[in-house]
Amino acid sequence: MATVALDRGTERLAVGTTTDAALLRGFLERDRLFSAYALADLDESDTGRARWGVARDGNEVVALVLEYGGPSPQPLFVLGREDGIDAILRDVIKPRIAYVAALPENVKAVERRYRLEPGPQMVRMWVDAEQFRPVEDPGVERLVPSDAADLNRLYRLGFGSWLGPGAIAEGIYYGIRVRGRLVAAAGTHVIGRASRVAVVGNVLTQPEYRGRGYAKATTAAVTARLLEFCDHVVLNVRSDNPPAINAYRGLGYAEHVRFEERLGHRIGSLWADLAAAFLRLSRPRSS
């Protein structure tokens, strides 16, 4: 682990990057429900996909920042002590623009380095096999790689996502068809098989078919399959979406924590300022 020593009055932190999976897992397991994405990413065989920054106070890890690989902006996950997060973001992990996930008590540390766009809080919900309440719906079917075109036609109506056949094969997706047309689906964001944790996502129903319980039924099917080999299944939902929260509660999901998930622009970065201006201009205007 490459380290940089930082003086904080009488306190001294060491910050740097690491690939020590046992060290990272030990810290993330302190809050495995909030750290589900990071734990699943740690399980990935391609370790080059992520960059891990940690801060130590003596021999103790006190903070962690995960920078996901891929085209910008990518997710940035922070967890731990405020001064440690600040030190990592200042000297080690420094993307110019990123989607930042942080607990409310860590937002101030992030805002020392990033200008965060406004938005509603997210709710992290979770379920295990004991709490889960399945929903039987004979119309729900498991989707396979050959369904990629149908699935992407559905998702493009909502958030322009694109999934290849490989992603469907590696994940778990269920859908509902009406007269042969895929009108609702749910799937997985990530699966941490070694950590026995998974994240449900990509839940979408075409507008004209909403209110019929399709999202609940497809989410239930995905959750049931995941709980066959995972101890915990989690999902995110916007705090300003009570109907969705209540639907997930009906499946046995419980609220774990509320957190911020916002687009952040590094303070003092010209590139980030230009990117922010472009994103604002490219957003469709409401009528």
Judge if 181 and 136 occupy the same domain: yes
Q: Are 98 and 264 in contact (CB under 8 A)?
A: yes
The H or E element that residue 214 is part of is: helix 214-226
d(CA 140, CA 174): 6
- Domain membership of residue 220 (yes or no) is yes
Domain end marker among 211, 230, 249: 230
| Residue 16, domain extent | 4-119+260-282
pLDDT score, position 70: 81
- The CATH number of residue 66's host domain is 3.40.630
| Segment holding 146, helix H or strand E | none
Residues 106, 137, single domain; the answer is no
Q: Is residue 248 part of a domain?
A: no
Short-list 71, 92, 67, CA closest to 15: 92
Q: What percent of the chain has pLDDT over 70?
A: 86
Q: Which residues contact 274 (CB under 8 A, 6 or more apart)?
A: none
CB-CB neighbours of 44 under 10 Å: 13
pLDDT tens figures, 2-47? 555 544 443 589 999 999 999 999 999 999 999 999 999 998 755 5
Domain count, the chain: 2
Considering the domain boundaries, does residue 140 fall inside one?
Answer: yes
pLDDT of residue 158 exceeding 80, the answer is no
Answer yes or no: is 24 within a domain: yes
Would 247 be classed as within a structural domain? no
Residues 160, 224: one domain? Answer: yes
CATH of the domain at 216: 3.40.630.30
- 33 with 99, same domain: the answer is yes
| 88-122 pLDDT per residue, tens | 999 999 999 999 999 999 999 999 999 999 999 99
Reported pTM:
0.86
Amino acid of residue 72: S
pLDDT, tens digit, 9 for 90 and up, residues 11-23: 589 999 999 999 9
173 inside domain:
yes
